Amino acid sequence: MRLCTFVVLIAISLSIQSAAADADPLKPAAIQTQDVPVVPSAFAARLAQYQNTRSASFAGWSPDGKGILVGTRFANSPQLHRVYEPGGRREQITFESEPVIGGFIPKADDGAILLMQSKGGSENNQIYLLDRAKFTTTLLTDGKSRHSLEAIRPDGKLIVVGSNQRNGRDTDLFVADPRKAGYQKTLMEVTNEHWSASDWSQDGSQLLLTRYVSINESYPAVMDFASGKRRDIALPGGEKAAVGALEFTGKANRAYIALDAGNEFRRLAILNLETGSYDWLTSDIPWDVASLDVHDESGRAAFTVNAEGTTQLYLLEPAAGERPTRRQLDLPTGIVGSLRFSPDGKQLGITLARPDAPADAYSIDIASGKLTRWTYSEVGGLNPATFVTAERIRFPSFDKREIPAWYFKPWTATATRKAPVLIQIHGGPESQALPTFSGTTQFYLNEMGMAVLLPNVRGSAGYGKTYLKLDNADLREDSVKDIGGLLDWIARQPELDASRVAVTGGSYGGFMVLSSLTHFGDRIKAGVDIVGICNFNTFLATTSAYRVDLRRAEYGDERDPKMKAFFERISPAGQADKIVSALLVVHGRNDPRVPFSEAEQIASRVRGYGRTVWTVFADNEGHGFAKKDNADYQRAVEAYFLKQNLGIDQAEPAPH
């Protein structure tokens, strides 16, 4: 062998070894990064325990009432599992590479299940029939458009499906036979409107529908199924209102409806579908009615109330008169969802999520009120006694308005050992930060000694419709000013270090992060922008066609020159020179809501000013990372980014 050839081979070998040393073994093949260092193995290994916590959500009762369906994850994505008895084994029944949701077909003796799934985060959901007797899975929809599974007829023989297959923009409603592929009947074609079907009368003759305009405005209607004729229902007082839960009471001429007409909050009423009269049932409860389920045969109903971020659960029992009796069920403090009565109406299935434990599936015996736990989700071998719960706080903003928030304080935080702070800003913008369990949050608290704050800035849901409207249109930046008020609050807390603050948020929360960095860059060390908006004009020009009008109703209409100019003025992309804090940008290339171009735009502009920018982009994800390998890597990078930019050393162990 010639000497020069030998030298070249050695150089190539050394180059390969160097590249291998620089490669991050945690990084999945579908993810590309720029300027992201290798996450230290010891740091990643400790975080992995917290990432291996698991949760389970209640997905319905088996038609015979002898078991339940739950959604949980054992591999790379959430799948459906059958549980036959409380605390029993979880039998996995779907085995897809993508996340799956679904439920049993009512009254189906063969245990058939309807599934919904999309590919790569595209949100073009398809509906499938899983026939567990024949061991087959059949695609019921067209395989490419966006679909939603709406109301299921009580006998399980027909379903309402929403689909934008006609033009990619409008979601028409169809009626399908779940045992056959392809649509059977067009129920409603729409143009520039957004309709959904919420319930089918017990005899199958009528459907309850809702037309959604915005979080502040929606309209109920009832349709005669045989004729297809729709009759709009007048709202009380003739005013605009937000309509939430809407279901038949068990009688074809009565419906339960939750709406905020004449009140700050969504109250529950019985709506007489013949006369249009409303009989209010919860005027004494000063919070939103959040969810509802009705047992058709008995007329028994259960509903939840969002009481400043925690759930109250109530039961309505039919009485001799028109008004049912009401009683509150006793539950641990937490968030309750997925209400579903058992086929015989004697039990209520729920998902219960608590601040210091993962969500699990439970049932409640209606007669005794006894709570039974069906699933016991794992916590990665961690000691649950070390988990930190949140406390409610309120802080004054620029206009003296009190802003609600949740505060997770690490065990180690004291006046002599001040904790760095992470502010997590929710998306929506009309969502609500809730004190649910997060393994990553517990890692920040117990392993990094970092405090975590979840503000519900103006515009958040759950605090009345006046509060909800305080960030609309040209009031958008008032919610950003609320973050300034939170920074002031942090500075007044003896156990918090106001010189080491970071912000993180996803979707609209990503916009809030970027905007906070342009306003308060001298007070914020780092920001994590996850699938965020950086310019409302470019966002509205590129988001999926079916979403444009819905987003205009919330953010404002960019076709108005004044609003377009306002969007340019507040655009973080247009103020990238003001972003001096370290920035991490996370995005999926298939995002149908906030297009990937928003991430490319802000990352390149901030880099252009010589700032620190890490980027994590995934080829097989959309609006957030749903696959475990991608999500694990994302969180590892986020945690290491915060450690590096907030100057965090290893925290003292939690004292439990």
Residue with tokens 């039990």: 347
Residue 299 has pLDDT above 60, yes or no: yes
Q: Identify the band that residue 509 occupies on the pLDDT scale cut at 50, 70 and 90.
A: very high
> Can you give the pLDDT at residue 118?
87
User: What Å distances lie between residue 560 and 100, 233, 545, CA to CA?
Assistant: 40, 32, 18
**Pairwise CA distance, residues 33 & 41, whole Å:** 18
pLDDT of 101 strictly over 80: yes
Average pLDDT over residues 623-636: 93
Q: Report whether 195 contacts 187 (CB < 8 A).
A: no
Quick one: pLDDT band at residue 7, thresholds 50, 70, 90?
very low
C-beta of residue 103 within 8 angstroms of C-beta of residue 113: yes
pLDDT in tens, 112-165: 999 999 888 888 899 999 998 888 999 999 999 999 999 999 999 999 999 999
First CA to last CA distance, the chain: 65
pLDDT > 70 in the chain, percent? 95
19-33 pLDDT, tens digit each: 333 578 889 999 999
Whether residue 1 has pLDDT greater than 60? no
What pLDDT was estimated at residue 472?
87
Where are any strands of DSSP class E within 155-229? 159-163, 172-176, 185-188, 195-200, 206-214, 217-224
Nearest residue to 286 (alpha-carbon basis) of 555, 467, 138, 547: 467
Specify the fold of 38-51+381-646: Rossmann fold (3.40.50)
Question: How far apart are alpha carbons 625 and 479 in whole angstroms?
Answer: 26
Sheet holding 113-117, edge to edge: 101-104, 113-117, 126-131, 136-139
pLDDT band at 656 (very low <50, low <70, confident <90, very high): very low
Domain boundaries, the chain: 38-51+381-646
Residue with tokens 């070249």: 8
Task: Compare 15 and 598 and report the one with higher pLDDT.
Answer: 598
List, as one string, the DSSP characters of 272-324: ETTT--EEES-TT--SEEEEEEE-TTT--EEEEEEETTEEEEEEEE--SSSSP
pLDDT digits (tens, 9 = 90+) for 55-65: 999 999 999 98
Question: Residue 314 — pLDDT band, cuts 50, 70, 90?
Answer: very high
